Structure 1
Amino acid sequence: MTTRKPSYQEAMNEIEELLAKIESDEPDIDDLAEKVRRVATLIRFCRDKLTKTSEEVEKILGEMETEETN
């Protein structure tokens, strides 16, 4: 069974929820490492998504610029 990747917004929402739990006055120490690991995974996912989106936008803009000069 494959797990669906979250959307960027879903990942950001989960990061915010997890950080709120981690930063609470009484975080659950038993789950702390797991929560931090999940946040790190989500941050990597979001960073990758932003990089790929930026590259795609740059490519599209470059194609448009090429079309205008032809």
Structure 2
Amino acid sequence: MRLTDFTELMRNEFGTMASDSMLRDHVLSDLGNRTGAVAIEEGVDPREVWLALCRDFDVPRDRWYLHPS
């Protein structure tokens, strides 16, 4: 997934301020106890970060909107 698609999904689902905070501050156990921002910096596909956030924040599956990579 492109980072621009990821950013758009985050902002559409959570809003700009909340999504920025979640990415910086929320630790994702599914991604080795890293924040989404650190995981992306370390090379994790934004798709994996998006899915981990969806699971952690109980986003209904029909709103996961996965775009092809």
Common fold by TM > 0.5: no
Structure having the larger proportion of residues in strand = 2
Structure having the larger proportion of residues in helix = 1
Shorter-chain TM-score category?
under 0.3
Higher alpha-carbon Rg: 1
Question: How does the TM-score come out when normalised to structure 2?
Answer: 0.26
Question: How does the TM-score come out when normalised to structure 1?
Answer: 0.26
